[in-house]
Amino acid sequence: MSQPQIPVVKKMWIFLFLLCVYTLCSADQYRQRAEKLMKETPLIDGHNDLPWQLLLRYHNQLSKVDLNKLNGTHTNIPKLKAGLVGGQFWVAYTPCDTQYKDAVRQTLEQIDVIHRMCQKYPQTFQCVGSSTEINTAFNNGKVASLIGVEGGHSIDSNMATLRLFYQLGVRYMTLTHSCNTPWVDNWLVDTGDDPLESNGLSEYGKKIVLEMNRLGMIVDLAHTSVKTMDDVLQLSKAPIIFSHSSAYTICNHKRNVPVEILKKVSEKRGIVMVNFYNEYVTCKPTAELSNVADHFDYIKKIAGYKAVGFGGDYDGVSRVPVGLDDVSFYPDLVAELLRRNWTDIEVKAALGDNFLRVFREVEQVKFNSPGNDEPIPFEQVQSQCRTGYGYPNNGTPLVLLPTVVTLVYLAHYLLV
C-alpha cells in the first residue's frame, strides 16, 4: 500500500520552519559563546565620552544624576552590565577652543569627575592604573576604569602638566584632537583643512613622546596626521594604540588608519581599537553592525589578530551603527566575529588580551629618572594668555635682546 504524498507547499513550509529553527539555534549558540568568552576575558574599550556628557548635561554635578537611571546616552550602569564591559577608558576631553586658554583646568575637571564616578559607584566602577589592577577589578566583578586624555592641547605644551596628569591616573594621551598643538600635527593636516606646522612631531614633540615612554603613559595616535603616526612609530620605545580609529581601506576617512601604518603598528606590537562612528565605518551617515565587523576582519588580515581591539567612541559621536545602538550591544558584535570563524583565542585577544599586552610592555619600558625638564621655546607658545616666568627676561628670546636694547636707546635719543 503506497504512503500518502506530502504536498509540495507543505514540504516548503516544513523546510522553512526547520531553517528558522536552525538559524535561531545557531544565533543563540554564537551569542552564548560570546558571553562565555566575555566572562573569562575583560572587554576593554579604548574610548568612551560619558564624562563629556556629564559636563554638558550636569556641569559634572554627580549629585544631580543617577548613572543607574541616566537616559539619552549610550552609556549607563545597566547598559554596561548588559554589555559585559570589563574595562573602560573614560575620556578626559576638552575641545580645541580651550587651547591657550583654560584647557588644563577643563581637563582637570574631567579627570576629577571620573574619579568621583568611581567613588560614588564603588559597586560598579574601580579606578585602576595598571595592567594588574585591571585584572583584579575584573575578577571582582567591577568595570576597571581607566583615564585617557584626548588631545595634547590639554597639557599646554608643558612636561610638568604631563607628569602630574600621570600621577592623577591618566594612562594614555591622544597626541592631538582636531587641532595642531605647537609640537604636533593633527589629522586635518591631511585633508588640507589645517596647515602643516610641525611636519608630524616637532623636536619638542619627540621629547614629549619619550617622556610618556619614561612615565609609562600609552601614546595614542587617534586624530593624528599620517606623518605624526609614522614619526611616533619610529621613535617610541613602547607599543602604541589607536584608541578609536578604523581601517582607511574600508572607509577612506582621514581619521582612519592607512594600510602602510597598519603594518607598522603590527611590527611595533601596537593595536588599533575599532571606532563605531558611522562616518568612520562606512563613510556614510548610516552603518550596520556587520560593517564594523568588516573593519575587525580587515585589520586582522593586514596586521594580525594581535593588533585589533574595541574603541567604540560611545557618547562622543552622534551616530552609531544599527545593532550597536549603545554599550549593551557589545556581545552581539563579539557573536558576529565568532560567526565569521574567529577562534576563541582571536576573540579573547581582541576583547582585552591585546590591550593588556600593550599596557604591560608600556609598563616594562617605564623607568625611574628625573625626566625631561626642558621647557618648550617661548616663541613657540607666546600669546596674550601666557606669561613668561622662568624664561630669560620673562620670555623675551635672547636673540631679540640686541634689537630690544637698540629700540630703547633709539626711542630715548628721539625723545631728548
Catalytic site positions: 47, 49, 150, 177, 223, 244, 313
Cα dist. 146→66, 91, 214, 246, 327 in Å? 20, 8, 19, 22, 17
Cα dist. 7→3, 64, 97 in Å? 12, 66, 72
Specify burial of residue 25 (Cβ count, 10 A radius: 0-12, 13-18, 19+). exposed
Q: Which helix (H) or strand (E) holds 273?
A: strand 271-274
Name residues whose C-beta falls within 8 Å of residue 133's C-beta, 6 or more positions apart in sequence. 126, 144
CA separation for the pair 229, 17 (Å, rounded):
53
* Buried-state track 363-375, b at ≥16 Cβ within 10 A, e below 16: eebbeeeeeeeee
Dihedral angle sign, alpha carbons of residues 262, 356, 366, 105: positive
**In the beta sheet, which residues pair with residue 218?**
172
Looking at this protein, which amino acid is placed at residue 208? Answer: I
At 173, list the grid cell.
Answer: 594621551
CA separation for the pair 42, 85 (Å, rounded):
7
Q: Which helix (H) or strand (E) holds 174?
A: strand 170-174
Cα dist. 51→192, 206, 215, 256, 391 in Å? 31, 29, 24, 24, 36
Looking at this protein, which amino acid is placed at residue 145? Answer: S
Q: Give the residue among 155, 124, 33, 142 at the shortest CA–CA distance from 86.
A: 142
Q: Give the residue among 352, 296, 334 at the shortest CA–CA distance from 32.
A: 334
CA separation for the pair 245, 34 (Å, rounded):
23
